[in-house]
Structure 1
Amino acid sequence: MAADPYTTLGVSRSANEKDIKSAYRKLAKELHPDRNKDNPKAAERFSEVTQAYDLLADKDKRAQFDRGEIDADGNPTNPFAGMGGGARSDGFGGGFNPNMGGGTRSGGFSTEDVDISDLFEGLFGGGDARQSRGGFAGGFGGMGGQQRRQAPPPKGADIAYRLKVPFIDAATRADQRITLADGKTIDLKLPAGVEDGTQMRLKGKGQQGPGGAGDGLVTISVEPHAFFRRDGNNVRLDLPITLTEAVEGAKVKVPTVDGPVMLTIKPGTSGGTVMRLGSKGFSGKDGKRGNQLVTIEIALPDDISELAKQLEGWQDRSNPRADLGV
């Protein structure tokens, strides 16, 4: 039988969930098999600590243990409860003795009339009773011959990670390196459709338990960029150009998440014009990439005195606000 789970974890019976979890984490970290490869007793102790935590972390099982209904292994403390008892008014005894001699009667019932092995078969299952014939060899099954199925041993707890990913890396799905709780590093390939808050599951990268290791849960945090902005799967950029470039047209270099490209500005391009660079955005869940949307901004020079001289005597008599009804 396993030791008292409270003693195993080193906590009092009045310990709350936080105290129990804290004690388990401390012991699990200290006894983890990866840290004690040359100490088999540590691995055994790790398993005991995990089993104790699994029982106390389950509110129902903990309550049953505290009431004495189950033991530290989670098994009923008295599987025969209610079967025994005092004598009944009809003359039958409360229990039975498989070694009773023949011919004895109690209230008109004779042991000669009953095959004791049949009684065992009815209570504990046919196969086991026939083989034991006077004992309980190999344990016992449930009523009607159904054997009790043991629940699979629990896996270890999951471990949560938060991974900060640069904006451009998220857009291009560049591999990211992450350091796990055991000190090992692995490279992660970002999934299509990755965004801030995306979760990735790393099978078997959690804490070790009797039934195997739990998982690692990685939450992605996409960092903001100095001049790129995300709009769905598109990337937006405000691009300043000079008045000369706007009037005469030009070829200008534009930054994208994949590196700079050349963009053609047509003569007479107005501020606020949106130009599209195809497949320069984020990947959707279908793997297709969005676009980069470039909004043109006309930037006047800090010193406009020379420009004022050039425009002296000239007036722009158009009404750029005509569409606004003013």
Structure 2
Amino acid sequence: MKNLYSILGVSKSASQQDIKSAYRKLAKKHHPDANPGDTKVEEKFKEISAAYHILGDEKQRARYDRGEIDEHGQEKMGGFQQGYRRSASGGFGGGGGGGAEDIFSEIFGNFRGGGFRGRVPEKGRDRKFAIEIDFAEAALGGKRRLTMGDGGRTLDVSIPAGVTDGQQIRLKGQGEDGIAGGPSGDILINVTVRPHNFFRRDGKNILVELPISLPEAVLGATVKVPTVDGTVNLKVPAGSNTGTTLRLKGKGVGKADRGDQLVKLKVVLPEKQDSELQDLVAKWSEKHDYDARSKLKAN
């Protein structure tokens, strides 16, 4: 008989949870009721069952690791044998075991009643996770690695471009195993998008308010604007006012069919009062008076 660890496909340093998880998968795949008439599969099932009855029991596993018992669970020294016996299922009874029949009941339903026979296939349970992503990752998509918690198994998850706060990502067939040949459950991932300091979202468009100086507004300028792709240059036309909105095409949400970024200008005066600027504006206004609130007057 081969080394018990290699039969279950785990390393000697594997945790008890790793061993249990490996056994669950192999037992479901090689159960005779799932492979009727296949004698090779039946022998494989007996082999993995025997391996788990030793490795699944911490005390028996320790004795096996120390070389006190062999792959059949029999004493190597001292002449006393544990007396493991084969059961009708192809497993082993006596000697403590590793709870294999309990796992069969969990995987296949009523194990003693005939495994899959007479059982109604049931979908496995869904597994739920929650992740938090930043604004740019939600807009452009990305990859995240989930640790499943069943023996350290990891799963790479694609974050779709344009995912919204509170949206749920479903990974079909990645949840708990089905019962009696039923389909596996799904993985459900609840997404939280962290708010951004200055970006806002409107459908596939991204909104940002861009402060500009008085000279930039009056004379026009080329200024730098942040986007989810990085900083780009934007031409501000001369005579721009607070509320003027400029469009950066293809800098919004999505991948192949992206939205735009809408840049709303906000003219900002110097924080510190400047007498020279005040004198200049006063002299200018003497000849260029205008009504800034004309649109608020009733018709």
Q: How does 1:1-326 map to 2 (within 5 A)?
A: 33-34=20-21, 39-40=52-53, 41-49=98-106, 150-182=118-150, 183-210=152-179, 211=181, 213-283=184-254, 287-306=256-275, 307-315=277-285, 316-325=288-297
In 1: Cα distance, 2:18 partner to 2:159 partner: 33
In 1: Cα distance, 2:147 partner to 2:279 partner: 62
Amino acid paired to 1:190:
I
User: Structure 1 residues 301 and 43, CA, compared in 2 at 3 Å: closer, same or farther?
Assistant: farther
In 2: Cα distance, 1:273 partner to 1:73 partner: 76
In 1: Cα distance, 2:185 partner to 2:52 partner: 22
Amino acid paired to 1:289:
R
Structure 1 residues not aligned, in runs of 5+: 1-28, 56-71, 75-148
Amino acid paired to 2:253:
F
Alignment partner, residue 142 of structure 1: none
Amino acid paired to 1:312:
A
Aligned partners of 1:47 and 1:209 also within 8 Å: no
User: Structure 1 residues 151 and 45, CA, compared in 2 at 3 Å: closer, same or farther?
Assistant: closer
Aligned partners of 2:137 and 2:161 also within 8 Å: no
Task: Give the CA deviation at 1:151.
Answer: 4.4
User: Structure 1 residues 302 and 152, CA, compared in 2 at 3 Å: closer, same or farther?
Assistant: same
Aligned partners of 1:194 and 1:283 also within 8 Å: no
TM-score scaled by structure 2?
Answer: 0.60
Which moved further from structure 2: 33-42 or 219-228?
Answer: 33-42
User: Structure 1 residues 31 and 251, CA, compared in 2 at 3 Å: closer, same or farther?
Assistant: closer
TM-score scaled by structure 1?
Answer: 0.55
User: Structure 1 residues 274 and 244, CA, compared in 2 at 3 Å: closer, same or farther?
Assistant: same
Structure showing greater relative contact order (alpha-carbon pairs closer than 8 Å, 6 or more residues apart): 2
In 1: Cα distance, 2:133 partner to 2:142 partner: 9
Aligned partners of 1:32 and 1:42 also within 8 Å: no
* Secondary structure of the structure 2 residue equivalent to 1:161: strand
Task: Give the CA deviation at 1:324.
Answer: 2.4
Structure 2 residues not aligned, in runs of 5+: 1-15, 25-50, 54-97
RMSD over equivalenced CA pairs, Å: 3.2
Q: Deviations over 1:65-89 (max 9, x none)?
A: xxxxxxx969xxxxxxxxxxxxxxx
CA radius of gyration, larger in: 1
In 1: Cα distance, 2:293 partner to 2:274 partner: 26
Amino acid paired to 2:189:
V
Amino acid paired to 2:137:
D
* Secondary structure of the structure 1 residue equivalent to 2:216: helix
Aligned partners of 1:31 and 1:46 also within 8 Å: no
In 2: Cα distance, 1:279 partner to 1:44 partner: 59
In 2: Cα distance, 1:202 partner to 1:322 partner: 57
Task: Give the CA deviation at 1:282.
Answer: 1.3
